[in-house]
Amino acid sequence: MKTASPTIARMNAATWRGGTPAEHARALPDEVAVALTYDRATFAAMMATPSELEDFAIGFSLSECIIGKASDITGFEAVVVEQGIDCRMTLSPARRDALDARRRRITGPVGCGLCGLDSLKEADRPIPKIQSAVHITADVIADAVSRMSQLQKLNIETRAVHAAAFFAPSGNDILLREDIGRHNALDKVIGAISRRGDDPGAGAIFLTSRVSLDLIQKTAVFGAAILVAVSVPSASAVRAAEAAGITLIAVARHDGFEIFTHPERVIFGTISE
């Protein structure tokens, strides 16, 4: 019987450091082809880190508007096949009909969230408008960024994967997922939070990657009002965040950040009860 790939592989390498050659064993993140199949029809295939695949499958299904809520997937099974892992899902009848009406195939490398789209309309799809009264303090943002780095167990060992997290200011809780692909990491968090039943509008998404348009689209569909990233956004991502009512914070470090859109949700002080 086939078994799933481990998330980490150890590989030997010849190194050159300080003018001296040596042998070195390095921990590397693994990736496998993951297919997302609905009612026996494959909808998408991509390279992903083989962990938290049910979160990934549900999060992708939500952020791509295939389902409206986690319970629209009535069955899930991750099956190891010759080419990788097939995430086989059963949809509720209503969602099955909706998917049949817009079925498309996405097949792309891990580095691009829009690769393989059949229609340019999918790249510029309408973005929901976020309405949320959530606020977050500047100190809490900096603290959450620092705490994220401590929770990235896979990245601590490999220094080669992205992370996405959901942070609820009211409960000071961080739920984090990692993946070699930044889009996959976000989908895993979306799936995990949706399965847990949390209100996305009551928290913030944190990313260790740059922010592109499709990450804004996924965040808006999810319903989070605040997105914090350690790297810079694209200009199109800023425009999309502004239109969607998302507070976009980037270049976030332990000692500061930059707010690109809707700064009214950030408080430089203490939130009054």
Catalytic residues: 112
> CA triplet 106, 107, 110: central angle to 5 degrees?
115
Closest by CA position to 227, among listed 90, 25, 208, 123: 208
Q: Where are the beta strands (DSSP E) in the chain?
A: 8-17, 20-29, 32-38, 41-48, 73-81, 84-91, 106-108, 136-137, 162-168, 173-179, 204-207, 226-229, 247-253, 256-259, 266-267
Q: Name the phi and psi angles at 229, rounded to 5.
A: -130, 150
3-state secondary structure of 187: helix
Rounded to whole angstroms, what are the CA distances from 143 to 65, 79, 148, 253?
Answer: 32, 39, 9, 9
CA distance 36 to 44: 5
